[in-house]
Amino acid sequence: MRPVNVLEAVQEGRRYPVRVGAGAGAGLAALARAHDRVALLSCARVLATPAGRSAVAALRRAGNLALVHRLPDGERGKTLAELERGAARMLAAGCTRRSLVVGLGGGAVTDAAGFLAATFMRGVGWVAVPTTLLAMVDAALGGKTGVNLPAAKNAVGAFHAPEAVLADPAALRTLPARELRSGFGEVLKYAALRPAMLGAAAAQARSGRAGAGLVAACAAMKLEVVARDPRERGERKLLNLGHTFGHGVEAAGRFSRWTHGEAVAVGLCFAFRLAARLGRIGPLAVAELEAAVAEAGLPTRLPAAAARRAARLMATDKKRTAAGLRWVLPRAGGNAWKVDWDVTAGEDAVADAVREIGGAP
């Protein structure tokens, strides 16, 4: 068994370990024992997997598991009604302000569990045990927690850093292929920020296996950026590479036709094409990025009508500022490229990139 990668997250004066690798969950019982009671939040699908069963067994061994609360799957578990239900069940199970919340699942569960921890008794500790690739490299890191309102995703939330994040890529074995591929869309974003990672990221995506080294490298990048810019005033915007157009794509597909990772993958291609239109990078960089996206089995193009709709909808993205959209775009540098944030682009260049991306039948 290869050793677990232990990363240290630093967030606004707080430090917590992020353990990535085989056996990362081993510390769960000890974390539980430091609290009076533990509330496990998960969903039925995850609790039925080997990773789910072993987390429950570890918490039972700790001896203070007061509650196993099943959230409805996915976004349906990220609501204020479910927050109230979860808090009421914690109270009924005897949880106090010294209790621990454990969020075991994908990003929807870790967002909801983290927000419950942020608000129960004005804030209790929590541990994230991410079981999707997206949650391991993104959602469970950085301390953003929250739920959705009917009109907007993540509209209500809080910054609440966990006590630990325990990510064992073995959990990904039961993940549906499309969810895994979607997580690789986010992995490719990190690789586009650090081009030396692109080849390995695309090859692992094609093989359908995310190695602990790659997951840890992505997690480390997010943690470094968040440590320097916790509230997204500057550098943290880099993590939105591919997301401006990507959010438009998600909306154009009514949040069901394309997964988040698929939308980000097309969004990366869009950002590189726009950067090329602006003369920031050459065609080889675009080709390299798109080859990696294609190798990962993710989309590089959209049907023309969907691309136009995505472009209209991205203008309502919350990252818009008064002076128009601000882009995260690559610029030729070193022997590959570097990425800048707060870049402006003329309407013509954007329209050209929309036409290029809309090349799918």
Ligand X SMILES: NC(=O)c1ccc[n+]([C@@H]2O[C@H](COP(=O)([O-])OP(=O)(O)OC[C@H]3O[C@@H](n4cnc5c(N)ncnc54)[C@H](O)[C@@H]3O)[C@@H](O)[C@H]2O)c1
Residue ranges in contact with ligand X by CB under 6 A: 43, 45-46, 49, 51, 73-75, 78, 105-109, 111, 131-132, 134-135, 138-139, 142, 144, 153-154, 171, 174-175, 179
Closest to ligand X by CB, 105 or 267: 105
Sheet containing strand 125-130, edge to edge, reads: 5-11, 14-20, 164-167, 125-130, 100-105, 38-43, 65-71
Choose the catalytic residue: 82, 163, 186, 288.
186
Separation between Cα atoms, residue 353 and residue 361, nearest integer Å: 16
Give the three-state DSSP class for 323: coil
User: Residue 136 CB, nearest distance to ligand X (Å)?
Assistant: 9
User: Residue 250 CB, nearest distance to ligand X (Å)?
Assistant: 10
Choose the catalytic residue: 160, 243, 280, 301.
243
Annotated active-site residue 148? The verdict is: no
Annotated active-site residue 236? The verdict is: yes
Closest to ligand X by CB, 54 or 96: 54
User: Residue 9 CB, nearest distance to ligand X (Å)?
Assistant: 13
Asked whether the beta carbons of 46 and 107 are under 8 A apart, the reply is: no
Separation between Cα atoms, residue 124 and residue 117, nearest integer Å: 5
Which amino acid is residue 340, in one-letter code? Answer: D
Annotated active-site residue 338? The verdict is: no
Handedness of CA 129, 134, 136, 138 (dihedral sign): negative
Closest to ligand X by CB, 97 or 173: 173
Annotated active-site residue 232? The verdict is: yes
Separation between Cα atoms, residue 189 and residue 218, nearest integer Å: 9
SS3 breakdown of the chain: % helix, strand, coil, rounded to 5? 50, 20, 25
Distance of CA 14 to the CA centre of its chain: 21
Choose the catalytic residue: 19, 222, 237, 309.
222
Asked whether the beta carbons of 129 and 104 are under 8 A apart, the reply is: yes
Closest to ligand X by CB, 176 or 283: 176
User: Residue 237 CB, nearest distance to ligand X (Å)?
Assistant: 14
User: Residue 317 CB, nearest distance to ligand X (Å)?
Assistant: 14
Closest to ligand X by CB, 134 or 265: 134
Separation between Cα atoms, residue 329 and residue 332, nearest integer Å: 10
Choose the catalytic residue: 37, 237, 240, 273.
240
CB hemisphere CA count around 190 (13 angstroms): 25
Annotated active-site residue 160? The verdict is: no
Annotated active-site residue 243? The verdict is: yes
User: Residue 336 CB, nearest distance to ligand X (Å)?
Assistant: 26
Separation between Cα atoms, residue 124 and residue 276, nearest integer Å: 48
Closest to ligand X by CB, 170 or 325: 170
Q: Is 122 exposed, middle or buried (0-12, 13-18, 19+ CB in 10 A)?
A: exposed
Residue 330 φ then ψ, to 5°: -75, 155
CA 212-215-220 angle, to 5 degrees, is 120
User: Residue 159 CB, nearest distance to ligand X (Å)?
Assistant: 10
Which amino acid is residue 182, in one-letter code? Answer: S
Choose the catalytic residue: 37, 144, 189, 277.
144
Closest to ligand X by CB, 247 or 280: 247
For the annotated catalytic residues, the residue numbers are 122, 144, 186, 222, 232, 236, 240, 243, 247, 260
